[in-house]
Amino acid sequence: MRGLISCYSTTGNTRVVAERIATEMSEQGMEVVVRDPVREPDFDDLSSYDVVGFGTPTMAWKPSWGFYEVLGLVPTQKKLVPSFVFCTSGGQPINTLRTMSHSLTEKNFLVIEGLEVTAETNWPVARQFGEKAKGLVGKPEESDLEAVGPFVQGIVRQLESKNLRSKVFDFKVSPLHLIGKRAGPKELRRAMGTKKVDRKRCIQCAACAVGCAARAISLRPYPIFSKHCIGCWACYNGCPTEAITTSVTGGRGRYKGPALAV
């Protein structure tokens, strides 16, 4: 059997989970590919896989807007494609998996499983206020990934039996769900503040532009941010020289990635 994992990850936590899922699937005898949909926006071959996984971080208590940017490039499938979903969050995924499932169903994917993994908060607005505000420091740890094994085994059992069942994700009642629904790209972009580039630090490496799911950054020759920015902070956290700052955080609270190696 062949599997594809399309993993949108802003700072690496979701990628860690994707790689662990791929490892577990390989141990189950599957041939697996992990694809970064921002850097490799290739979705023409999805129907050739036995199962396709979609991963995203949770942002504003729902799937990140980067996930929707990616999903917009995915064509509606001509035949039903088995799939699974997973997300990372700072402890409050709320209805992320349920929302992902609904969106993928509209593209003719059959979501058969879902997994939530706790990860360290990578939101600089919170992180700038010190160690306690960072929350869940060092996660995901190995113990957080123990659920990946049973998760993969459940997927493989369904694929082998050909008895595929749509996963039902219960609705989680929370005021954060309503707040998240109101937080669109415009609101998240405003919450990020005005972005600036320190030209003395910027090395014009294009890492920010290449990693931008919204394709909102161009180099002329220094980064220019367009109104298509979705406020995901990937450029801010990922700049290797910390050249990007904002009016909200200055240069504080950056998250440099997970403790676990990918």
In this prediction, residue 125 has a pLDDT band, given cuts at 50, 70 and 90, of very high
Do the beta carbons of residue 38 and residue 8 sit within 8 Å?
Answer: yes
Secondary structure (DSSP) of 132-180: HHH-STT-S-GGGGTTHHHHHHHHHHHHHHT---PPPPPP---HHHHHH
Of the options 1.10.132.50, 3.40.50.360, 3.30.70.580, 3.30.540.10, the CATH number for the domain spanning 2-175: 3.40.50.360
Tell me: pLDDT of 197 over 70: yes
Rounded distance between C-alpha atoms, residue 71 and residue 107, angstroms: 9
The CATH architecture of the domain made up of 185-246 is: 2-Layer Sandwich (3.30)
pTM of the model: 0.95
What is the structure's pLDDT at 91?
86
In this prediction, residue 262 has a pLDDT band, given cuts at 50, 70 and 90, of low
Angle at which helices 148-161 and 13-27 pack, to 10 degrees? 50
Listed by start position, the domains of the chain span 2-175, 185-246
Model confidence over 34-58: pLDDT tens digits?
999 999 998 999 999 999 999 999 9
